[in-house]
Amino acid sequence: MEWQPDEQGLQQVLHLLKDSQSPNTATQRAVQQKLEQLNQFPDFNNYLIFVLTRLKTEDEPTRSLSGLILKNNVKVHYQNFPPAVAHFINENISILYVLILVCLCSGILITTISTKGELQTWPELLPQLCNMLNSEDYNICEGSFGALQKICEDSSELLDSDALNRPLNIMIPKFLQFFKHCSPKIRSHAIACVNQFIIGRAQALMDNIDTFIESLFALAADEDSEVRKNVCRALVMLLEVRVDRLIPHMRSIVEYMLQRSQDPDENVALEACEFWLTLAEQPILTFLFFIAVQNYEAVPDNEQDIKPRFHKSRTVTLRHEGNEGEEGEESDEDDDDDDDSLSDWNLRKCSAAALDVLANVFRDELLPPLLPVLKELLFHPDWVVKESGILVLGAIAEGCMQDMVLYLPELIPHLIQCLCDKKALVRSIACWTLSRYAHWVVSQPPDSYLKPLMTELLKRILDSNKRVQEAACSAFATLEEEACTELVPYLSFILDTLVFAFSKYQHKNLLILYDAIGTLADSVGHHLNQPEYIQKLMPPLIQKWNELKDEDKDLFPLLECLSSVATALQSGFLPYCEPVYQRCVTLVQKNLAQAMMYNQHPDQYEAPDKDFMIVALDLLSGLAEGLGAHVEQLVTRSNVMTLIFQCMQDTMPEVRQSSFALLGDLTKACFLHVKPCIAEFLPVLGLNLNPEFISVCNNATWAIGEIAIQMGTEMQPFVALVLNNLVEIINRPNTPKTLLENTAITIGRLGYVCPQEVAPMLPQFVRPWCTSLRNIRDNEEKDSAFRGICVMIGVNPGGVVQDFIFFCDAVASWVNPKDDLRDMFYKILHGFKDQVGEDNWQQFSEQFPPLLKERLSACYGSCVFLCEMAGGITETGEPYSPFVSITFDQVVVHGVDID
């Protein structure tokens, strides 16, 4: 028998629903307690569905509220419902009534059930909803479409799967029929439903793609803004996945998007503006776009032969976008710290991002039509217009820089003057735009632009408007990165400003201030290590450090800042190092302990926020790098090596990445404490030589190289643990440049200390090894790596024969090698020449590019190397092995061009 409510129980539920609408707090609390009690009874949900779908005499708020409570119960407890209750819900939920709020509420409830994975066990739902689209009752049709749209949004992949027998084969053609419905709301729902299946290339949609596109074109001039918005969105996505179908119409699409970008409805304009972001990623279409733009003024408005589109949404943003402020906002009182206006995507930001990407496509071709407009905007008396011009100037900076250089001597002073504008938004956007031209500013004589820009930006850092403060701090950080040691003469002035900002800034901007200070330390390095500067900078930083609790996430940016400062100050950080070091160790220890408790009892403990551990490890790395041998006494009094071993095995890649960085820095600073742990550490490092996690692999590789240099010949038992993986990485296609370089250096270092173990594998890695290191600057790491390759060639000279030209090219990359290293190169080059003979060597060297010939001739003798091979011994005291069994044919066959 069908379930029927008990009358007394029904009245009790109705009374509860009416009480829940009371504004009285005490009543609300009592209702909540009663609801929790009733949820213990399975058929309570039957009462709720009964009120929603059967009690037509009840008022709308009461019925709607029953649906909302039911929705929440389904969301939390549906899997635990008895089969009879679940069946009753499924049987009754599709009975939608005329009251539109009830229809909408039921739609929400259907969606909640569908996303709980119940679509497979409720086969009647989709056919029922599709059938109700044909209802003569408009409210039922709209309510059904609302529910279908939510299901399409939440379950798009499931709807295009065999698990449901591919209902899209019926749904897509059904939706397309409603593109011509008389109601704009229904038309909008129909487009929105189909749009969910574009990016996934649902087969049912691809089978109907031409009909879909034609239907979109027919709606492009729709009077309803929501319809126009969904049309734009659809065509932008189609541009990504079915550009072949749009190319014949692209000129009309471009013209249409230019029109829609100026739509009176800002939401439509925003969707249309996304078009230009996607267009820039389609090189085949940009020519059509440029022609259309050039002739746009002569094209009459014609919204019948249309074509628009939308796209991958809010991912393209400007890195240092200025904040938006109230007109004329000058007070020191800003919005709450939670105001996240910078990340809000709007038409203004989308337009600027579009200009940015288009400038990078068309480069200086964009300037001729843009310059006259830009000049008018930049010097316009209306501050709103002027601000838009400043934003445009910043947006095109990267793409149009080459030709913009002609105008910068005039524009930069104007922008610096705009930093003093009475309108906050002008000041903030001027900060951002100037940061986009920081590279050019720094390339000029300091007194011309750098000094006045720095002076005004520092004033804006102390601006009365918080959003200007934020923009100025961000811009100054960019300037610091570009100027580096050019800022050294002004350090006192800079620090005075940044330190004063500590007393002026509130929460949000204080975090940005940490970044500006950390960037300054990274940029000027050891020049910061002066008593005057340390006395200015450290007290406020340490004060903030002491104020923050271990659980406060504001520690993250402060820890990062202190890491940079400690590295820059070096021994100057010694007076502050012990409490900072101990707190970092404590943070790591507490985090590991919390993780252990969570893993053992996940129902009793919360998972730790491992970001605390990551930034603490990074600061410990900064201390080790900055303090060098001075960190030894701190390590002695702590269990940091035990903690590192635990962190090296953490499941979170970022934790392992930071632990390997710390291990490498401690290896350099105080290997005495690392060496007893090597037998445990090396196998873990070997397991992390996995390029799937690039940064983890990179740091593990680097740490192995540092350990090898310290271990010397004692590294021999551990070479086999890592060598094969390293050789595989260096031969792997598309490996990032930094990882290739670190891998090559580590292989070289292993070969330097253990040549007998590594040299036999020379033929497997020598070519990528040489090409990886040919472009890095001279430094100690490169020095040790090249000593290793020379020693390995001495052990296995035949291993380099086939790729000897690459070795020559790598040798030529050195600007100023140490004398003994230069001698090693000389002996190998001349030894090779002597073995192959004069004629063969001359033919071989003729393959060299002119620059390579010149370099080798200048550094190691003439191209024919007339000098004789001099005798010598290796760094390890062993004689160089002769180049035996070398034939010139081998060399010629494998000769290749070197850039």
Residue pLDDT, tens place only, 279-296? 877 765 555 555 544 444
**Distance between CA atoms of 146 and 154, rounded to whole angstroms?**
13
Q: Which of 324-333, 506-515, 786-795 has the highest mean pLDDT?
A: 786-795
Residue 264 located in a structural domain: no
Asked whether the predicted pLDDT for residue 390 surpasses 70, the reply is yes
pTM above 0.75, yes or no: no
pLDDT for 289: 54
Whether residue 96 has pLDDT greater than 80: no
Token readout for 409 is 């001597």
CA nearest neighbour of 242 among 276, 273, 285, 182: 285
Confidence of residue 869 (pLDDT cuts 50, 70, 90): very low
- pLDDT tens, residue by residue, 179-219: 999 999 999 999 999 999 999 899 999 999 999 999 999 99
pLDDT range class, residue 122, cuts 50, 70, 90? low
Q: Which of 314-323, 521-530, 606-615, 682-691 has the lowest mean pLDDT?
A: 314-323
Please give the average per-residue pLDDT across 791-795, as a whole number: 94
Q: Span 291-302, mean pLDDT?
A: 44
Poorest-confidence range of 98-112, 474-488, 615-629, 869-883?
869-883
Q: Running DSSP on this structure, what letter comes out for residue 873?
A: B
Out of 92, 117, 142, pick the residue that ends a domain: 117
Final residue of a structural domain among 117, 147, 167: 117
> Bigger pLDDT: 698 or 276?
698
Report if residue 732 sits inside a domain. no
- Gap between the Cα atoms of 113 and 119, Å rounded: 8
Q: What is the pLDDT of residue 343?
A: 46
Summarize the confidence of residues 61-78 as an average pLDDT.
Answer: 72
The pLDDT tens digits of the residues spanning 153-183 come to: 888 888 888 777 788 899 999 999 999 999 9
pLDDT at 604 > cutoff 90: no
| Residue 803 belongs to some domain of the structure | no
Assigned domain for 88 exists: yes
Q: For position 75, what pLDDT does the model report? A: 66
- Per residue in 546-555, pLDDT (tens digit) is 888 888 888 8
Cα–chain center distance at 218: 39
Please name which of 207, 217, 88, 103 lies closest in space to residue 149, comparing C-alpha atoms: 103
Let me know if residue 35 belongs to a domain.
yes
Instruction: Please tell me the total count of domains within the chain.
Output: 2
Name the pLDDT band for 137 (thresholds 50, 70, 90).
Answer: confident
CB 588 within 8 A of CB 647: yes
Q: What percent of the chain has pLDDT over 70?
A: 84
pLDDT at 330: 37
In-domain check, residue 379? no
495: tokens are: 């620090």
Give the range of the structural domain holding residue 50, as residue numbers without chain letter. Answer: 1-117
Query: Closest by alpha carbon to 766, among 736, 742, 731?
Result: 731
Least confident piece of the model among 318-332, 417-431, 643-657:
318-332
pLDDT of res. 553: 86
Neighbours of 875 (CB within 10 A): 15
Phi, psi of 879 (to 5 degrees): -70, 150
Query: Is the residue at 78 inside a domain?
Result: yes
For residue 747, the model assigns a pLDDT of 97
* Least confident span in 223-227, 306-310, 758-762: 306-310
Torsion angle of the four alpha carbons 533, 536, 538, 542, in this order, in degrees rounded to the nearest 10: 180
Q: What string of DSSP letters covers 817-843? A: --HHHHHHHHHHHHHHHHHH-HHHHHH
DSSP reduced 3-state for 879: strand
Higher pLDDT, 609 or 31: 609
Residue 878 and residue 123: Cα distance in Å, rounded? Answer: 80
Residue 838 maps to a domain: no
Mean pLDDT of 832-847: 81
The last residue of a domain, from among 117, 133, 148: 117
Place 316 in a pLDDT band, splitting at 50, 70 and 90: very low
Lowest mean pLDDT among 20-29, 394-403, 462-471, 489-498: 20-29
For 599, counting Cβ atoms within 10 Å of its Cβ (0-12 exposed, 13-18 middle, 19+ buried), the class is: exposed
Band of residue 305 on the pLDDT scale cut at 50, 70, 90: very low
Q: What is the dihedral of CA 578, 583, 584, 588, to 10 degrees?
A: 140
* Mean pLDDT for all residues in the chain: 82
